[in-house]
A and B are shown apart, each in its own frame.
Chain A
Amino acid sequence: MPAPLKDATAIVGIGQTPFAKRLPESEKTLACRAVLAALEDAGIAPEEVDGLASYTMEETDEVELAKAIGLGDLTFFSKVGYGGGGSCATVAHLAAAIATGQASVGVAWRSRKRGSGPRPWKNTTVQLPTPAQWTRPFGLLRPADEIAMLTRRYMHEYGATRDHLFNVALACRNRANQNPAAMMYERPLTRDMYMTSRWISEPLCLFDNCLETDGALACVIVSAERALDCRSKPVYVHSTAQGLPAQHHGMVNYWNDDPLTGPAWTTARQLWKQADFGPEDVDVAQIYDAFTALIPLSLEGYGFCARGEGGAFTEGGALEIGGRLPINTGGGGLSEAYVHGFNLINEGVRQLRGTSTAQVPDAATCLVTAGEGVPTSALLLRS
């Protein structure tokens, strides 16, 4: 099938602020700093930016960002819904806009003070895609509770264990221990720490949950032609996809035939259909990890193993450097920073530039995914 977006655009700049539990500056200021850093990395002047994309949950809007850092006239701006499910789609929307001539220099970004700011689940007036009347009164309050419910069922159906979830947490922590920018850089994790940590929502413990982070990130997308003139080595957007499966219910996906076949499956079909390579050719993956259990579910959805084998896939160091599929090489949301998955995009770019702090030798292809368990998105990047 024709794939007009294949390698038509490239990420040519990445930028980010420090990550911490608390940063003194505002989300708006952090957004400005991350975007300017990404443009500096690309060697592109802010005046040249004419496209923007972010998340619907982003609180710095285009108007504020554009006037603060002196962007040019904007001709494309879009926002993607469903929290962390939108991360990769921000790049995808810009790639489509640039490939179809609606913009020439696009910037995607996310700035969030989730570390020092309020926990969103404490605001009980916000209604989710599936109305909260069916879940919240019964004490299913937080994303951790909602995903723990699917996790228990997954463990029950397929025999996945807490050791499998630990394998995920450990791989992310080991990579963070190599990454000075990661919040958990100097904090090693042991199996004993994991197994004796406090519960958040059984069967998920503290280390199954992502960090709470203040920080911002951005990346710059231009046409493949323009990319050759930029300061940094281009990383091509090979394939992109979004996915909202039929009869999907969001994070409380309990009401269809097969709740464990989530949006990753739909996204993956579209992603691979447009690609020149398949899962077996992926050198490194950045898989959305708000919770450890999303990794086995995503490994199955994106085709790295068969249904029900995601837990077993993590055995024998498969997710570590040198393993079958190194993941989240900057530490991911579990151990680098949780900024709605945008750090996974920037780390994917670093891997294909060859500049990661946990470099996979000769990495040429990288899968980046957005939040599984909500309407999601993914990118295949190549060098």
Chain B
Amino acid sequence: MLTPVVDEDGAPFWRYAAQGELRIQSCADCGELRFPPRPCCPHCRSFDSEWRRTSGRGRIWSYVVPHPPLLPAYAEQAPYNAIVVELVEAPRVRLVGNLVSGPDAPLNSVDPRRIRVGARVQAVFGEVAGVIVPRWVLERP
């Protein structure tokens, strides 16, 4: 499994995830949220930022079901799902992730036929190849 190749801008996201918190970068001056994280606010050009905690609630914006050819660790679990979730607090902040049956369940633990655009989901935190990453479960399974 691929683990996140963390860069300077993204490091706080993964640090908070390891603590079980879903936090999004926001401008310390104008308060706008931005994702993916970057050094400067595209709205007011401030270089000061903070990390705002979210409820982890969202809706599925879109999803795919990849089939081989894939990297071996992913091919073993295919077909699995990858989803894009828009956060309830910030619909333009969309996170790529996986819909799973529980925090540590495999990528293919939810039947793809049960996935719907618009379905409500909740972030949970699970370990994938030694790294804590946000994952998603259906609010009403």
- Residues of A whose CB lies within 8 Å of any CB of B are 119, 122, 124, 127, 130-142, 144-145, 148-150, 152-153, 156, 198-203, 247, 249, 252, 254-257
Contact = CB atoms under 8 A, between A and B. Distances in A.
B36 A130 contact: yes
Given A139-B107, A156-B117, A256-B92, A145 B64 contact: yes
B112 interface: yes
A153 B117 contact: yes
B61 A254 contact: yes
- On chain B, which size bracket covers the interface? 35 or more
Interface in B40-61: 42, 61
A254 B3 contact: no
Interface string B18-38: 000000000000000001100
15 contacts: A119-B69, A124-B2, A131-B10, A131-B36, A137-B2, A137-B133, A139-B80, A142-B70, A145-B66, A149-B64, A153-B84, A199-B65, A202-B79, A254-B61, A255-B36
Contacts of A198: 67
B42 to A, nearest CB: 7
Contact of A254 (B1, B65, B84): B84
A202 B3 contact: no
A133 B98 contact: no
B62 interface: yes
Nearest to A199: B67
B16 to A, nearest CB: 14
Nearest to A204: B64
B67 A141 contact: no
Contacts of A127: 5
Contacts of B10: 131, 133-134
A152 B36 contact: no
A152 B63 contact: yes
B128 A255 contact: no
A247 B43 CA distance: 11
Nearest to A203: B64
Given A131-B10, A134-B96, A255-B35, A141 B74 contact: yes
B82 to A, nearest CB: 5
Contact of A153 (B5, B35, B62, B80): B62
B33 to A, nearest CB: 10
Contact of B7 (A131, A136, A137, A199): A131
Contact of B64 (A131, A132, A152): A152
Contacts of A124: 2, 71
Nearest to A249: B36
B97 interface: yes
Nearest to B93: A255
Given A124-B71, A137-B133, A145-B82, A131 B62 contact: no
A202 B112 contact: yes
Contacts of A202: 64-67, 79, 112
Nearest to A147: B64
B120 interface: no
Given A132-B5, A139-B98, A252-B96, A122 B67 contact: no
Going nearest first, the 3 A-B pairs with the smallest beta carbon separation are: A202-B65, A133-B4, A153-B62
Given A130-B36, A202-B112, A141 B5 contact: no
A201 B65 contact: yes
Given A130-B36, A138-B96, A138-B97, A247 B5 contact: no
A149 B84 contact: yes
A136 B65 CA distance: 14
A199 B92 CA distance: 29
A148 B67 CA distance: 12
Contact of A137 (B1, B79, B93): B1
Contacts of B117: 152-153, 156
A141 B84 contact: no
B104 to A, nearest CB: 15
A150 to B, nearest CB: 7
A205 to B, nearest CB: 9
A144 B67 CA distance: 10
A199 B67 CA distance: 6
